[in-house]
Structure 1
Amino acid sequence: MEAALERKLNKTLYKVFLLILKIIPFLLAINETVFTILHYFDIKCYSLNFIGGFSVLFMIQLYIMSYIFQYCEWHRVPLHYVTIVNILALYDTYVGIPISDL
């Protein structure tokens, strides 16, 4: 009886893990978009950066898990978006992109 209950719990946790893994890239992309819009209007919202901040190691982990669990390319689009936006922001910070806000 205990083994069946433990298997059911593990199966439920596995399903919750897969659901969260599918949702996280979209939440990161939404967070990045809102943070960019607020930053454009000089509204400093560091809590958004704290909640969904960019971490190279976390992005690598998400990419690897998306391939391990065989997600389609559309589930990787938000990951590509977050990666590209942060690479551009990093480049703009250290080198500078000669484009005005207007």
Structure 2
Amino acid sequence: MAEDLQMSGCIAVVFNKKFGELQTLQEQNPEFGRVLQLKKGQRNILYLITKKHSRDKPSYEDVRRSLTRLRNTMLDQNLVDFVIPKLASGLDKLDWRIVGSML
């Protein structure tokens, strides 16, 4: 996801339709490299900001940095289980095999 929170492509569209709360995400100061969070009952929905603008493409290093932040967030909050979509493999066109190996 980008700092501008446009959510205009791929999985971001699905997340926006399913979870919404764009204003709540905006209030969390979406900056490149940050992890934003929504709480839905017992679920924690974590959004990775991997780029500045929706039109940009993240690098593998950008994704790695975001995943490190995700790990730290999960450790800080004692979150142990997670489900994750194929990050940056849609319109961003990164190879999921490489991104998946970073997990």
- Per the normalisation by structure 1, the TM-score is 0.32
- Per the normalisation by structure 2, the TM-score is 0.32
More strand by share: 2
Q: Which has the larger radius of gyration?
A: 1
More helix by share: 1
